[in-house]
Chains A and B, each alone.
Chain A
Amino acid sequence: MTTETTSPAGTSLGAEQLGKFLYEMMLIRRFEEKCGELYTKGKIRGFLHLYTGQEACAVGSMAALEERDKIVTHYRDHGHALARGLDPDRVMAELFGKATGVSGGRGGSMHLYDVSKGFLGGYAIVAAHLPLAVGLGMASNMKKEGFVTLCVFGDGSVGEGEFHEALNLSVLWNTPTTFFCENNLYGMGVPFHASLSTDIPKLAAAYNMPAVSVDGMDVIAVHEATRKAVEHARSGKGPYFIEAMTYRYRGHSMSDPELYRLKDEIEEYRQRDAIERLKTHLMEAGQLDEARYQELIARVEQVVDEAVEFSEQSPQPGIDTLYDHLYKEPSDG
């Protein structure tokens, strides 16, 4: 187990890639802020878990994947969906429960799917998707398709038996899996130190899996670590574990009174904000100026506004479709 820190200055990533990271993180941030507003207006219902603060995890990790790779993630999944390139219109429409949503209005916020992008779902039962990632790895190995599965989960997952079962199986069966733990310090309202007797990467190391801990609020560090993990998997060396230390600025869900943490703590993490850090770096390196930054702000604003407009205009799923997709029949192709 090693702890890696990568400073922006030390990266080999070019200005174009970093500019893309900045845009994607800004898009997720604005998208999530809008979702919060729409929730209070009753446009979005059910459980809504905002990703604000954790953007670097999704953006840095997804950029390390190829088109053929697969993703399974947890229920705080909007950021991963957008970073993977799912259509913001259709992600937002899913939150609206509309027929045009990525899951046809059947999944909602916690259950986004787009198979065409290898995005095999947000999973709302904690740690349930970890064994699925192992199975996907078995399929990749047996069919010799060479795809890697990125499996994203939170620190709350590590107490579940399935976390341990999946890590063990993936090493036993040498599956091309990247286990990516977004440690945002709280499993709902319980600090992770109160729910785990050790450090998370040590758990992976105990199963003979390489494990690193990275600054999850540094998109470059996240990207470098994930790229290494994915290369490791793709070269046949099996699973790899990344713990990304991050922080969510909003509550666990929209109904969280946040009695378990102090406002100072949130402010402290905002000082390390991934978007601000990358923006500062790019400006200092002469790769971004205020005018260009304002353009990015306008662009994400427009994309989010269009997604809302698309969702508003989209039809509800017909009641006559209630029983659709219950069982796959041969005629379904």
Chain B
Amino acid sequence: MAEMRMREALREALREEMLRDETIFLMGEDIGLYGGSYAVTKGLLEEFGEARVIDTPIAESGIVGAGIGAAMGGLRPMVELMTINFSFLALDQIVNSAAKLYHMSNGQINVPLVIRMASGGGSQLAATHSHSLEGLYAHFPGLKVVCPSNAADAKGLLKRAFRDDNTVIFIEHTANYAIKGEVPDDPDFLIEFGVANILREGTDVTIVGYGGSVHQATRAATLLEEQEEISAEVIDLRTLRPLDMDTVIASVKKTNRCVIVEDAWRFGGFGGELAAQVMEHAFDWLDAPVARVACKDVPLPYNRNLEFAALPSEEDVVDAVLGMFKE
């Protein structure tokens, strides 16, 4: 075990997997000479050379499409899209080619491609650069969607992504890059997809988060315990597709209450899917309607006060929990 930030854990995963499998190569915007916009790929060009760490033009659709083609040709590419905001420009490739080829070709063509992108608001980058789209990608059958919340998970999940025979959308919340944690150094350390992580056990309410929102959930649980003597169980979904609903349902059956926290917009969001599934599978165990804490229904403003008013906070989570205990 070694302590490192999530960006370093991601780099370790890339390095180890590239050493393990020579069909893996990286391409993306500024991942080489620049070292990656969030410094994840720093040093990899020097170590692996320009044949395996390829700086690309700013052409999201083209490079994702090239990644798909390379995967069809027997390689295991990783495409870094700098940020998830630019993935709109590659949406057709992701949705119509990567997600569908295996099914449409009747199992003849699979696309083992990892697409990494930074996500989330909170950095005063304004509306075009602050998206949380984990739920959008989870909407499409054929994709796998991974969103780590900490350094160790980031490493284990990214390594696992390179061993998948399907396209994995790997979403990294920018607020998580600098968070430090203990990370296993076993080269075969993998975290399976579809296995949620119970970050904190509790008995009174289940708080579910993913990616960046796990941290509001955890901080809220601490506040609830210290100030309200409410014991909250916190679940980090880790992957949205496949989705580990069993862990969530088992928890809700124990706590009888469920709050879902996400950085994405509430309307039509992934939280609605979670809430519906909780209702379908644990309706009789619920002592209160499922609550959702999410981004306010506006494009994220530049101004710091306005942006923070729009994003979900731990206070919002505490309020949602307290609302469930009011008679």
Interfacial residues, chain A to chain B (CB-CB below 8 A): 70, 72, 101-107, 111, 113-115, 120-121, 123, 125, 128-140, 142-143, 149, 161-162, 165-166, 168-169, 172-173, 324-330, 332
Instruction: Give every chain A residue within 8 A of B286 (Cβ-Cβ).
Output: none
A113 touches B104 (CB 8 A): yes
B105 touches A107 (CB 8 A): yes
Known contacts A132-B97, A142-B51, A166-B65; A328/B25 CB under 8 A: no
Q: How far is the CB of A212 from chain B (nearest CB, A)?
A: 24
A195→B165 CA distance, assembly (Å): 40
Known contacts A132-B65, A135-B71, A328-B110; A168/B57 CB under 8 A: yes
Within 8 A of A (CB), among B90-144: 92-93, 96-97, 101-110, 141-142, 144
Instruction: Give every chain B residue within 8 A of A123 (Cβ-Cβ).
Output: 97
B59 touches A326 (CB 8 A): no
Most chain A Cβ neighbours within 10 Å, of B57, B63, B92, B105: B105
A120 touches B72 (CB 8 A): yes
Known contacts A107-B104, A139-B74; A131/B57 CB under 8 A: no
B69 touches A138 (CB 8 A): yes
A131→B62 CA distance, assembly (Å): 5
B73 touches A136 (CB 8 A): yes
Instruction: Give every chain A residue within 8 A of B106 (Cβ-Cβ).
Output: 101-107, 113, 324-325
A121→B77 CA distance, assembly (Å): 20
B65 touches A162 (CB 8 A): yes
Cβ-neighbour of A165 out of B62, B71, B92, B142 (below 8 A) = B62
A149→B74 CA distance, assembly (Å): 14
Q: How far is the CB of B48 from chain A (nearest CB, A)?
A: 12
Known contacts A113-B109, A169-B59; A133/B102 CB under 8 A: no
A169 touches B62 (CB 8 A): yes
B25 touches A142 (CB 8 A): yes
Known contacts A132-B69, A136-B72; A162/B61 CB under 8 A: yes
Known contacts A103-B104, A115-B105; A135/B65 CB under 8 A: yes
Q: How far is the CB of A161 from chain B (nearest CB, A)?
A: 6
A138→B64 CA distance, assembly (Å): 13
A132 touches B103 (CB 8 A): no
Of the A-B pairs whose beta carbons lie under 8 Å apart in the complex, a sample of 8, sorted by A's number, is: A107-B105, A121-B109, A138-B69, A139-B72, A168-B57, A168-B59, A326-B141, A328-B107
Q: How far is the CB of B68 from chain A (nearest CB, A)?
A: 5
Using CB atoms, name the residue of chain A closest to B163.
A330
B103 touches A326 (CB 8 A): yes
Q: How far is the CB of B182 from chain A (nearest CB, A)?
A: 29
B73 touches A169 (CB 8 A): no
B166 touches A327 (CB 8 A): yes
Using CB atoms, name the residue of chain B closest to A161.
B61
A131 touches B61 (CB 8 A): yes
Instruction: Give every chain A residue within 8 A of B66 (Cβ-Cβ).
Output: 131-132, 134-135, 138, 166, 169
Which 7 residue pairs of A and B lie closest in terms of their CB atoms, listed nearest first? A135-B69, A131-B65, A139-B73, A165-B62, A104-B106, A132-B69, A135-B66
A138 touches B65 (CB 8 A): no
Q: How far is the CB of B76 from chain A (nearest CB, A)?
A: 10
Most chain A Cβ neighbours within 10 Å, of B71, B108, B142, B165: B108
A327→B242 CA distance, assembly (Å): 11
Q: Is B33 an interface residue (CB 8 A)?
A: no
A162 touches B62 (CB 8 A): yes
Cβ-neighbour of A169 out of B63, B104, B107 (below 8 A) = B63
Kindly supply a per-residue 1/0 record for chain B positions 78-99, scoring 1 wherever the CB is within 8 Å of any chain A CB and 0 otherwise: 0000000000000011001100
Most chain A Cβ neighbours within 10 Å, of B25, B64, B69, B93: B69
A135→B69 CA distance, assembly (Å): 4
A186→B105 CA distance, assembly (Å): 29
A151→B106 CA distance, assembly (Å): 22
A297→B304 CA distance, assembly (Å): 76
Using CB atoms, name the residue of chain B closest to A151.
B69
Q: How far is the CB of A229 from chain B (nearest CB, A)?
A: 18
Instruction: Give every chain A residue within 8 A of B69 (Cβ-Cβ).
Output: 72, 131-139, 149
Using CB atoms, name the residue of chain A closest to B143.
A327
A330→B166 CA distance, assembly (Å): 10
B57 touches A325 (CB 8 A): no
A129→B61 CA distance, assembly (Å): 11
Known contacts A125-B96, A128-B97, A328-B165; A135/B70 CB under 8 A: yes
B142 touches A327 (CB 8 A): yes
A159→B294 CA distance, assembly (Å): 39
A332→B56 CA distance, assembly (Å): 33
Instruction: Give every chain A residue within 8 A of B57 (Cβ-Cβ).
Output: 165, 168-169, 172
B104 touches A131 (CB 8 A): no
Q: How far is the CB of B216 from chain A (nearest CB, A)?
A: 31
Known contacts A121-B101, A325-B107, A328-B110; A128/B75 CB under 8 A: no
Q: Is B156 an interface residue (CB 8 A)?
A: no
B75 touches A142 (CB 8 A): yes
Known contacts A121-B101, A121-B109, A328-B110; A165/B72 CB under 8 A: no
Instruction: Give every chain B residue within 8 A of A136 (Cβ-Cβ).
Output: 69-70, 72-73
B93 touches A328 (CB 8 A): no
Instruction: Give every chain A residue within 8 A of B148 (Cβ-Cβ).
Output: none
Most chain A Cβ neighbours within 10 Å, of B25, B65, B71, B77: B65
A130 touches B65 (CB 8 A): yes
Instruction: Give every chain B residue within 8 A of A138 (Cβ-Cβ).
Output: 66, 69-70, 73, 75
B74 touches A143 (CB 8 A): yes
A120→B69 CA distance, assembly (Å): 10
A134 touches B65 (CB 8 A): yes
Instruction: Give every chain B residue within 8 A of A173 (Cβ-Cβ).
Output: 54
Q: Is B212 an interface residue (CB 8 A)?
A: no
Q: A131-B61, A165-B62 are in contact. List 19 more A-B contacts (CB 8 A).
A: A72-B69, A106-B105, A107-B104, A114-B108, A115-B109, A121-B105, A131-B65, A132-B72, A135-B70, A135-B71, A138-B66, A138-B73, A139-B72, A161-B61, A161-B62, A324-B106, A325-B102, A327-B165, A328-B107
